[in-house]
Every structure is written in structure tokens, then in C-alpha cells.
């Protein structure tokens, strides 16, 4: 049984010392970075409290319950049962992506990304020694879709890997099974690798139809990797824990060949928190969070329609990030700069996600209705200036 998860009061949030609450002065409402304003799931609080009480702050063990906990979570939430023996942990999703790309590409190989997309993707490809190949999502006017023809062309011209964001950040798109199936077939036909960042998967709304990439088809399992974490859904980014997941022998051999240091970079508190997050005990909390985020995404649509006509926004299928097109307001290619300077609301700069982000901003609605309302009211007041 779920109960809606409510955000903490603003005064209490300002006691936090994380990036969201320390980057800007106290007169700024921070809706930029992907941290949420909710209390931790009770099972996580208990797990971390026990660790502090017993001094359980040493090295991560060589045998942990993390992979089994995630497999059970995936079975309950996605109807997919990955094999715990085919997983390894690491510090975070970004590190997992880089370590995979280092082993499936050679220096100078091209890796496809689909902008507008999570800004670190560009840096992660370069960190792995590869080169970014941009194949933007297609905007159909009502949705964003993978440009399969563009992917095909890039692969035919020699691209060796595809970096997939599923669900997609910043648009919140849950890619269709048909699109993912076709993507896997294209990768298989060209001997390319798909690395699927599924950090937002636990936050897919129940009606969105999210399917893990490795559950799509034999081709996806043969040529795919997934990197997953509890960090976005349960607000655990600072604790450092993610899982690299495989589903067939080839990718599993690659992951098992990674240096042990990759696994030892997993944070002990991150692992303990993730096990608690993935436990059945936390399902009710997660369901309550999804209910709250559903209310917030709808509230945002109402607020924008009432106070900021001209802003274009599609409710995301997953997550707590809103991709808002502010082009019609005439605030330039980077409207978040003016919004920060004059409205004292911090949004993520659209251009950071790629050239397709010109005129856009990303807003984090993982907060209270009061903060969300105040933020939109402040932004809307700029129209009268």
C-alpha cells in the first residue's frame, strides 16, 4: 500500500549541504540539478542508521546482496528477471558507461548519442577515447522518437556503439518497444554495442510501458549492456553505487574482465542504501513517490498554461525532469540565464544538452507544489518586465 511522499519544508531543505542547496544564494529556488526534495525511504534511513551505529563503514565486501536485490526489484517492477551472476557494481552510472565504452571501442571510434541528452554523455564518450556522433531524437510534434534512419546511416558509416538514455533525460520519454527492438536489430546487423543508461527506470509512470533494453530481444541481449542505479529514484547520488548488467556471454565476459578496482569504487553506504531501496519494503514508498510526481507533472502543465502561455511542455513519461521550450517568449538561446538572474529560479541550461536545447530549459519538479508554484510565478513575472 502506498502513501504519497511529500517534500520536506523549504527551511529544512536549506540545511542540506548538497549541490542543489549550496550552488546558489538562499534567495534562489534551485530546480536545476537532479536531486529531489523528499525524505529518504524509511528502509534506507534504517539501513544507514544501523551502519553508523555499528561502524559498518569499511570496504565493500567481495560478496554482497546487491545484484540479487536488483534482480528481485526488476522482476517485481518490470517483469524482467536478470541474472545476478551477470552483474558487477561500480561507483555510479557514468563510471559504468565509461568502463564499458573503453572495452568495446578503440580510440577514435564514433559513439552515437541522441540529443538533446544528459550533458555528461558527451564527456563520457571522450573520456573513453571515442568521438561523439550526434543523431538527434526526432520531434514528431507530439513526442520524441529515436531516429532509426539516422542511427542506420551512422552505423553504416562506421559508428561502433550507441549510448542510449532510457528513459530519456531531459525529455522523460519512455522509448517504445518497437523502437528499441529496431535499435537492437540495427546494432546486431552492424556488430555495434548498445549501452543503455537506465538510471531513471524506477521512475517510469505505471502507464508508460517501460521495458528494460536487455529484456527487449535476443539481439539486445547479445549486443547490449545496461547500467542501473537507485540513485535518481531514491535520491542517493552522493552515496555512489550502480550496477552494470549483462544478459549474454559476450557482454558478461567483458564486464568480468574489468579491473577489481572498478567494483571496489562502489560506496559502502551506497550499496547498503541501494539494497534497502531495491527491497520489497521500499515498494510502497516508491509507489507513493510516483503518485506525487504524477501530481506534480500535471500541476506544472496547469501552471504553465495559466501563467506562461507560449511555453511548450509535454508531460514526461518518467522521472521528475521537465523539458520546456521557451523559444516563443523571446528570451534568447539560453533563457535559463535570464530566469536565474532576474527571477531567482535556477533551471538547467538547455544548451548544455546539445544545440537542440536552444531556447529550452530543464526544470526539476521533484519538489513541493508550493515551491513549484512559486517558481513558475516568479518566471511568469518576467513577461511584465
Dump pLDDT digits (tens) for 20-63: 999 999 999 999 999 999 999 999 999 999 999 999 999 999 99
* Predicted TM-score of the model (pTM): 0.97
Report the phi/psi class of residue 164: left, alpha or beta, with left for phi > 0 and alpha for psi in -120 to 50.
beta
Q: Indicate where the chain has its CATH 3.40.640.10 domain(s).
A: 45-281
Q: What is the pLDDT of residues 305-350, one digit of tens each?
A: 999 999 999 999 999 999 999 999 999 999 999 999 999 999 999 9
Q: How far apart are CA 231 and CA 240, in angstroms?
A: 8
Cell output for 205: 509512470
Phi first, then psi: give them for residue 348, nearest 5 degrees: -80, 130
Look at residue 109 and tell me whether its pLDDT is greater than 90: yes
Look at residue 1 and tell me whether its pLDDT is greater than 70: no
**Sign of the C-alpha dihedral computed for residues 269, 274, 280 and 284 taken in this order:** positive
Cell output for 197: 543508461
Cell output for 245: 548488467
Strand order in the sheet with 360-364: 312-313, 321-325, 360-364, 348-349
- Degrees (nearest 5) of the Cα angle 89, 92, 96? 65
Specify which residues 323 forms β-bridges with.
362
Q: Indicate where the chain has its CATH 3.90.1150.10 domain(s).
A: 10-40+283-384
For residue 383, the model assigns a pLDDT of: 86
Give the confidence band of 165 by pLDDT, cuts at 50, 70, 90: very high
Q: Which CATH class is domain 10-40+283-384?
A: alpha beta
Look at residue 137 and tell me whether its pLDDT is greater than 90: yes
Look at residue 224 and tell me whether its pLDDT is greater than 80: yes
Look at residue 304 and tell me whether its pLDDT is greater than 90: yes
Contacts of 309 (CB under 8 A, 6+ apart): none
Architecture of domain 45-281: 3-Layer(aba) Sandwich (3.40)
Kindly give the pairing relationship between strand 110-113 and strand 131-134.
parallel
The secondary structure element, H or E, covering residue 150 is helix 148-156
The mean pLDDT value for 179-198 works out to: 98
Amino acid at each position: 500500500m502506498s502513501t504519497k511522499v511529500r517534500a520536506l519544508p523549504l527551511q529544512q531543505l536549506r540545511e542540506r549541504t548538497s549541490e542543489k542547496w549550496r550552488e546558489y544564494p538562499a534567495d534562489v529556488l534551485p530546480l536545476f540539478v537532479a536531486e529531489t526534495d523528499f525524505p529518504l525511504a524509511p528502509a534506507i534511513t534504517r539501513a544507514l542508521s544501523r551502519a553508523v551505529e555499528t561502524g559498518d563503514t569499511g570496504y565493500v565486501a567481495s560478496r554482497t546482496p546487491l545484484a540479487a536485490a536488483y534482480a528481485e526489484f526488476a522482476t517485481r517492477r518490470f517483469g524482467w528477471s536478470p541474472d545476478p551472476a551477470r552483474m558487477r557494481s561500480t561507483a555510479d552510472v557514468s563510471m559504468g558507461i565509461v568502463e564499458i565504452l573503453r572495452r568495446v571501442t578503440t580510440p577514435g571510434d564514433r559513439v552515437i548519442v541522441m540529443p538533446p541528452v544528459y550533458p555528461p554523455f558527451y564527456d563520457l564518450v571522450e573520456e573513453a577515447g571515442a568521438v561523439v556522433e550526434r543523431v538527434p531524437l526526432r520531434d514528431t510534434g507530439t513526442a520524441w522518437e529515436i531516429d532509426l534512419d539516422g542511427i542506420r546511416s551512422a552505423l553504416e558509416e562506421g559508428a561502433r556503439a550507441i549510448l542510449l538514455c532510457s528513459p530519456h533525460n531531459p525529455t522523460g520519454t519512455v522509448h517504445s518497444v518497437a523502437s528499441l527492438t529496431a535499435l537492437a536489430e540495427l546494432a546486431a546487423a552492424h556488430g555495434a554495442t548498445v549501452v543503455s543508461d537506465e538510471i531513471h527506470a524506477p521512475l517510469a509512470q505505471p502507464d508508460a510501458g517501460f521495458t528494460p533494453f536487455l529484456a527487449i530481444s535476443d539481439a539486445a541481449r547479445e549486443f547490449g549492456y545496461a547500467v542501473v542505479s537507485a540513485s535518481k529514484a531514491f535520491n542517493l547520488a552522493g552515496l555512489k553505487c550502480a550496477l552494470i548488467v549483462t544478459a549474454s556471454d559476450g557482454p558478461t565476459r567483458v564486464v568480468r574482465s574489468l579491473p577489481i578496482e572498478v567494483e571496489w569504487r562502489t560506496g559502502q553506504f551506497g550499496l547498503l542504501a541501494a539494497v534497502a531501496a531495491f527491497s520489497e519494503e521500499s515498494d510502497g514508498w516508491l509507489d507513493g513517490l510516483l503518485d506525487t510526481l504524477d501530481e506534480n507533472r500535471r500541476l506544472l502543465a496547469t501552471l504553465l498554461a495559466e501563467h506562461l502561455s507560449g511555453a511548450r511542455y509535454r508531460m514526461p513519461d518518467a522521472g521528475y525532469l521537465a523539458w520546456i521550450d521557451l523559444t516563443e517568449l523571446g528570451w534568447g538561446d539560453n533563457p535559463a540565464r535570464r530566469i536565474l538572474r532576474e527571477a531567482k529560479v535556477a533551471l538547467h541550461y538547455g544548451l548544455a544538452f546539445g544545440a537542440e536545447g536552444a531556447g529550452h530549459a530543464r526544470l526539476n519538479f521533484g519538489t513541493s507544489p508550493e515551491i513549484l508554484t512559486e517558481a513558475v510565478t516568479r518566471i511568469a513575472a518576467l513577461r511584465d518586465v
